Amino acid sequence: MEERGGKVGEGAGGALSKIGSWPRKSTAFLGDVRAETKRVTWPSMQQIQATTVVVIITVFMFGAYFGILDWFFTRAVGWILQWGGQ
């Protein structure tokens, strides 16, 4: 039988112990997440509103910018295709 890491194959017992430990590991992980969440400095409502306004304005500005570029390139390509087809 082949050796793995200094042990002879684990067999079903090792696999079952790994499967059986997931509830304990999951509970520990969720406890760590909860503890870490308590240490987070959350933004105030005023900060949330201000950054939301900035994001909305930026989205509309980029939308207008790309809309103008799209209109311009559509016209330019149409003009070139028309000019080349004559």
Q: For every residue of 38-86, which 3-state class applies, written as one string?
A: HCCCCCCHHHHHHHHHHHHHHHHHHHHHHHHHHHHHHHHHHHHHHHHHC
Whether 1 and 8 have beta carbons less than 8 Å apart is answered as yes
Instruction: Indicate if 51 and 80 belong to the same structural domain.
Output: yes
Residue 19 has a pLDDT of: 75
Query: Digits of tens for pLDDT over the chain (86 positions)?
Result: 445 555 555 566 666 677 778 888 899 999 999 999 999 999 999 999 999 999 999 999 999 999 999 999 999 999 999 987 76
Residue 84 has a pLDDT of: 79
Instruction: Indicate if 71 and 46 belong to the same structural domain.
Output: yes
Instruction: Indicate if 52 and 86 belong to the same structural domain.
Output: yes
Instruction: Indicate if 46 and 86 belong to the same structural domain.
Output: yes
Instruction: Indicate if 31 and 50 belong to the same structural domain.
Output: no
Instruction: Give the domain range for residue 27.
Output: 7-40
Judge if pTM exceeds 0.95.
no
Residue 38 has a pLDDT of: 92
Q: In total, how many domains does the chain have?
A: 2
Instruction: Indicate if 30 and 18 belong to the same structural domain.
Output: yes
